[in-house]
């Protein structure tokens, strides 16, 4: 069957920017995200560039990733950066207590991470240890990375082979401090934030953007307390929201699910809009000028690990369903760009809702990767508000899934980009897009879809779900007419 929907866009109405940092990523010392995923070492027989996997580097460069958060996650609050500098043979090992008890040899440390960011052309986002580290330790890490003077930590860095300081903008002061980052009460964390952040200095012309460890999902009290107590001392506050069934018991298979599971997933993922609106309303009370950013620095799907893999390594497959979670969520983030200044999907390689999966020499780009590829046109573009009218599927717990999701932006060259998702498994949708004063010459597009919503790319068959050219958008007198097949995600460019 074919349904109808309409979208109204006024290209002259855009006032706010979609920060490119909404398209950010996250790399934790967890499973094979770092070792085997990003880093194989220079002596590996897997093709590498200075130790970084060449295939993964190329794939991430293509995505134009704006920032990369590291070293965790929960790992960050047990990480001691001095263990990861200097000659590799002298670096002490540690137990990765959060993630399967794996032995971490610290061969990937500060230099390896910051050099990777330089290769990728992205901003590093350092997550500092507040849970088990000292104020002095974090203060010295900042000095080590960013001081160019004749300072003790800058000289230690020089001794370790790096003359010029790196630029580090984003600094997280703790992670999930209510949980794995120290099991703190919000008021206690707020005091610690004051103390730790005081000693994280701006060296030379490096200017830190300090991010407080924020709430989980529906914990509005955490945000309220932080805004009240440290609102004048932070540049951003984080928020974590996973599309997950719950924290006890099975989270469901990444690849074997029913139609009901599919719509439940989309309903849960879309609930993020209500959650961010409530956190934003609290922030607005204390910061009407919207100076402080809401940084959704962990989000995405969380399923059971793939059978036979280490339960502590969070390795999961990624289907067209995950691609919808990415598409729908990014359309929400784009809309709140006046407050949401950053978001980091968890995680970049081999962990949770990854962009990339690797196995030995093989690499697979996931359906989620392709959503980020299609949506990269929104990075730093002007957001164009739109109104959308379509059918909505009602689900339990007051959740609902509108049968269309969209966002639009205008880039520096004047090109308009529209990303549209039709999550309906069974029905195509004819979409009328009204764009007053459109003087378009040409519309082109790409589409991501597949036969089934549980289709995925696997080692040996890496090309099952891939974007293709989209030809079903036509210019009309009012704007555009677009035929969206069932379960499809489309990006359009109008020039
Ligand atoms: O992304 C996996 C984990 O989820 C992170 O380490 C932690 O911050 C969150 O609980």
* Per-residue pLDDT tens over the stretch 154-178: 999 999 999 999 999 999 999 999 9
Question: What pLDDT sits at residue 3?
Answer: 86
Check: pTM over 0.90? Answer yes or no. Answer: yes
Answer whether 206's CB lies under 8 Å from 168's CB: yes
Q: Are strands 468-469 and 473-475 parallel, antiparallel or unpaired?
A: unpaired
Triad 208, 59, 211: Cα angle to 5°: 20
Q: For ligand 1, pick from 32, 176, 241 the residue to mutate: most ligand atoms within 8 Å of CB.
A: 176
Protein residue whose Cα sits closest to atom 1 of ligand 1: 346
Question: Residue 270 phi/psi, 5° resolution?
Answer: -75, -20
Residue 231 pLDDT grade (very low, low, confident, very high; cuts 50, 70, 90): very high
Protein residue whose Cα sits closest to atom 5 of ligand 1: 73
> Can you name the residues that pair with 345 across neighbouring β-strands?
25, 299
Domain with residues 2-10+385-494, CATH architecture: Sandwich (2.60)
Looking at the CA of residue 242, tell me the nearest atom of ligand 1: 4
CA of 378 to the centre of ligand 1 (A): 27
Q: How far, in Å, CA of 50 to CA of 295, rounded? A: 32
Q: Is the peptide bond before 347 cis (omega within 30 degrees of 0)?
A: yes
Looking at the CA of residue 28, tell me the nearest atom of ligand 1: 6
Percent of the chain with pLDDT over 90: 96
- Of 298, 430, 452, 469, which one is the catalytic site residue? 298
> 76 in ligand 1 pocket by Cβ < 6 Å?
no
- Per-domain residue ranges of the chain: 2-10+385-494, 20-380
Q: How far, in Å, CA of 386 to CA of 118, rounded? A: 36
Cβ neighbours, 10 Å, residue 5: 21
Q: How far is CA 249 from CA 159, 269, 305, in A?
A: 49, 20, 12
Q: For ligand 1, pick from 26, 28, 181 the residue to mutate: most ligand atoms within 8 Å of CB.
A: 28
Question: What pLDDT sits at residue 49?
Answer: 98
Looking at the CA of residue 179, tell me the nearest atom of ligand 1: 10
> 283 in ligand 1 pocket by Cβ < 6 Å?
no
Burial 41-64 (b: 16+ CB within 10 A, else e): eeeeebebeebbbebbbebbeebb
Name residue, tokens 């967890």. 30
Question: What pLDDT sits at residue 396?
Answer: 87
Looking at 2-16, 281-295, 419-433, which range is the least confident one? 2-16
Cβ neighbours, 10 Å, residue 94: 18
> 28 in ligand 1 pocket by Cβ < 6 Å?
yes
- pLDDT (mean) for 482-494: 97
> 175 in ligand 1 pocket by Cβ < 6 Å?
yes
Question: What pLDDT sits at residue 95?
Answer: 98
Fold match flag (2-10+385-494 vs 20-380)? no
> 72 in ligand 1 pocket by Cβ < 6 Å?
yes
Query: Closest Cα to residue 77, out of 178, 215, 182, 165?
Result: 182
pLDDT score of 485 more than 80? yes
Q: How far is CA 423 from CA 88, 276, 391, 449, in A?
A: 49, 22, 11, 10
Q: Is the peptide bond before 71 cis (omega within 30 degrees of 0)?
A: yes
Tell me the CATH number for domain 20-380.
Answer: 3.20.20.80
Catalytic residue status for 273: no
Answer whether 14's CB lies under 8 Å from 383's CB: yes
Residues 6+ apart with CB under 8 A from 43: none
Query: Closest Cα to residue 456, out of 330, 370, 376?
Result: 370
Burial 368-383 (b: 16+ CB within 10 A, else e): bbbbbbbbbbbbebbb
**Alpha helices (H) in 68-134, listed in sequence order:** 110-120
Residue 440 pLDDT grade (very low, low, confident, very high; cuts 50, 70, 90): low
Rg from Cα positions in the chain: 22
Residue 303: is it exposed, middle or buried by C-beta count within 10 angstroms (0-12/13-18/19+)?
A: buried
User: How far from the centroid of its chain's Cα atoms is residue 25's Cα?
Assistant: 4
Higher-pLDDT residue of 396, 417:
417
Query: Closest Cα to residue 250, out of 167, 320, 311?
Result: 311
Q: What's the pLDDT tens digit per position in 67-85?
A: 999 999 999 999 999 999 9
Q: How far, in Å, CA of 466 to CA of 259, rounded? A: 22
Protein residue whose Cα sits closest to atom 6 of ligand 1: 73
- pLDDT (mean) for 97-125: 98
Q: In which element (H, E) is residue 275 found?
A: helix 272-286
Looking at the CA of residue 347, tell me the nearest atom of ligand 1: 1
Looking at the CA of residue 346, tell me the nearest atom of ligand 1: 1
Question: What pLDDT sits at residue 279?
Answer: 98
CA of 241 to the centre of ligand 1 (A): 10
> 77 in ligand 1 pocket by Cβ < 6 Å?
no
- Of 176, 273, 306, 396, which one is the catalytic site residue? 176
pLDDT score of 180 more than 80? yes
CA of 211 to the centre of ligand 1 (A): 16
- pLDDT (mean) for 82-106: 97
Q: How far, in Å, CA of 312 to CA of 241, rounded? A: 20
Tokens standing for 71?
Answer: 């070293």
CA of 466 to the centre of ligand 1 (A): 28
Question: What pLDDT sits at residue 322?
Answer: 98
Protein residue whose Cα sits closest to atom 2 of ligand 1: 73
> 214 in ligand 1 pocket by Cβ < 6 Å?
no
CA of 73 to the centre of ligand 1 (A): 5
Tokens standing for 45?
Answer: 């027989």
Q: How far, in Å, CA of 61 to CA of 57, rounded? A: 6
CA of 254 to the centre of ligand 1 (A): 18
Residue 364 pLDDT grade (very low, low, confident, very high; cuts 50, 70, 90): very high
pLDDT score of 1 more than 70? no
Q: For ligand 1, pick from 240, 241, 244, 349 the residue to mutate: most ligand atoms within 8 Å of CB.
A: 240
Answer whether 380's CB lies under 8 Å from 19's CB: yes
Residues 6+ apart with CB under 8 A from 10: 384, 385, 435, 436
- Across the chain, what does the average pLDDT equal? 97
Query: Closest Cα to residue 300, out of 268, 276, 277?
Result: 268
Looking at 408-417, 433-442, 455-464, which range is the least confident one? 433-442
> 143 in ligand 1 pocket by Cβ < 6 Å?
no
Q: Are strands 473-475 and 479-484 parallel, antiparallel or unpaired?
A: antiparallel
Catalytic residue status for 118: no
Name residue, tokens 């289709």. 455
Protein residue whose Cα sits closest to atom 9 of ligand 1: 73
> 403 in ligand 1 pocket by Cβ < 6 Å?
no
Question: What pLDDT sits at residue 113?
Answer: 98
At 156, is the secondary structure helix, strand, or coil?
helix
């Amino acid at each position: 069957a074919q349904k109808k929907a309409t979208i109204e866009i006024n290209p002259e109405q855009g006032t706010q920017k979609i920060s490119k940092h909404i398209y950010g990523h996250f790399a934790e010392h967890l499973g094979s995200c770092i070792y085997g995923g990003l880093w194989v070492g220079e002596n590996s027989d897997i093709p590498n560039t200075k130790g970084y996997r060449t295939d993964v580097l190329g794939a991430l460069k293509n995505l134009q990733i704006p920032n990369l958060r590291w070293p965790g996650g929960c790992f960050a609050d047990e990480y001691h950066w001095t263990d990861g500098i200097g000659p590799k043979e002298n670096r002490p090992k540690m137990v990765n207590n959060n993630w399967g008890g794996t032995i971490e040899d610290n061969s990937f440390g500060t230099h390896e991470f910051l050099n990777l960011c330089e290769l990728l052309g992205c901003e590093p986002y350092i997550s500092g240890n507040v849970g088990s580290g000292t104020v002095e330790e974090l203060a010295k890490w900042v000095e080590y990375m960013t001081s160019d003077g004749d300072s003790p930590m800058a000289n230690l860095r020089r001794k370790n082979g790096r003359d010029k300081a790196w630029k580090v903008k984003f600094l997280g002061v703790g992670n999930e401090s209510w949980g794995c980052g120290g099991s703190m009460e919000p008021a206690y964390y707020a005091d610690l934030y004051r103390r730790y952040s005081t000693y994280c200095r701006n060296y030379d012309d490096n200017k830190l953007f300090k991010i407080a460890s924020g709430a989980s999902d529906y914990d509005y009290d955490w945000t309220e307390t932080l805004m009240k107590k440290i609102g004048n001392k932070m540049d951003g506050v984080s928020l974590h929201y996973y599309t997950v069934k719950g924290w006890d018991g099975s989270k469901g298979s990444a690849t074997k699910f029913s139609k009901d599971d599919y719509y439940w997933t989309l309903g849960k993922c879309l609930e993020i809009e209500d959650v961010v609106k409530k956190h934003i309303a609290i922030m607005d009370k204390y910061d009407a000028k919207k100076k402080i950013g809401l940084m959704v620095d962990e989000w995405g799907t969380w399923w059971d690990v793939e059978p036979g893999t280490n339960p502590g390594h969070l390795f999961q497959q990624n289907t067209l369903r995950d691609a919808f979670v990415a598409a729908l969520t990014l359309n929400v983030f784009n809309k709140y760009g006046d407050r949401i200044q950053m978001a980091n999907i968890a995680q970049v390689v081999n962990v949770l809702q990854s962009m990339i999966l690797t196995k030995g020499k093989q690499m697979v780009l996931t359906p989620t990767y392709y959503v980020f590829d299609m949506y990269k046109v929104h990075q730093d573009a002007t957001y164009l508000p739109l109104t959308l009218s379509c059918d909505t599927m009602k689900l339990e717990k007051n959740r609902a899934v509108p049968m269309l999701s969209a966002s639009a932006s205008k880039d520096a060259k004047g090109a308009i980009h529209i990303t549209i998702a039709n999550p309906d498994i069974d029905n195509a949708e004819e979409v009328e897009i009204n764009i007053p004063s459109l003087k378009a010459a040409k519309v082109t597009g790409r589409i991501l879809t597949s036969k089934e919503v549980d289709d995925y790319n696997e080692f040996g068959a890496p090309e099952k779900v891939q974007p293709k050219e989209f030809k079903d958008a036509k210019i009309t007198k009012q704007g555009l007419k677009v035929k969206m097949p069932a379960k499809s995600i489309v990006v359009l460019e109008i020039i």
